[in-house]
Structure 1
Amino acid sequence: MAVATYPTEPLLKKPLPAGKPRDWYVSHNRRLKAMRLAIALLDSGVYLPSQAPDGRIRSTAARIGIHPPSDTTCRMVRFLIRYGR
């Protein structure tokens, strides 16, 4: 079984495409935030959505240094944990 390796240098960020509706940018950033939170929770041993109430997701956000997520983002995190296994 191969061991996952992570890049030693940060990935270059590309600017978001211009001209999209505001809702597109909001949902794009929400998905990125939910993905970061789901990865942090999985790394800390949370493997089931029932183990990730809103309080735990928000405390994880504080621990990794991002703004507290909304209720919608918390639901998205649980969805990613459920179907990302």
Structure 2
Amino acid sequence: MAAAAIISMPKKKPLPAGLPREWYENHNRRLKAMRLAISLLDTGTYDAKRATNRKIRTMAVRVGIHRPSNVTCRMVRAFIVANGG
């Protein structure tokens, strides 16, 4: 009989100190865009053309993420295109 695999979450490392503020903003924007892109892909939105700003922002509400900006929405579409959509 096979035992259930125990998966633990990776430990978060603190962000490096002393970088410009823009670096931290861009880092957090990429993380938000990646979470939204994964959520859209999980719900069947594989085409970046169908990932409108409205659809991305609706998904953000469903997932519990703050409303993304236009720049973040573009980044979500770029992640979907990079995924093959």
TM above 0.5, yes or no, is: yes
- Give me the CA root mean square deviation: 1.1
- Alignment gaps of 5+ in structure 1: 1-6
- Alignment gaps of 5+ in structure 2: 1-5
Displacement of 1:50: 1.0
Q: State TM-score, norm by structure 2.
A: 0.87
Q: State TM-score, norm by structure 1.
A: 0.87
User: Which amino acid is the alignment partner of residue 15 of structure 2?
Assistant: L
Q: Which residue in 2 is equivalent to 1:21? A: 20
> Is residue 2:48 matched to residue 1:40?
no
Displacement of 1:8: 3.1
Structure 2: how far apart are the matches of 1:9 and 1:26?
A: 28
- For these two proteins, the number of residue pairs brought into alignment is 79
Structure 2: how far apart are the matches of 1:57 and 1:8?
A: 29
Q: Which runs of 4+ in 1 moved over 4 A?
A: none
Larger of the two Rg values belongs to structure: 2
Identical pairs, percent: 57
Structure 2: how far apart are the matches of 1:20 and 1:70?
A: 23
Structure 2: how far apart are the matches of 1:47 and 1:39?
A: 10
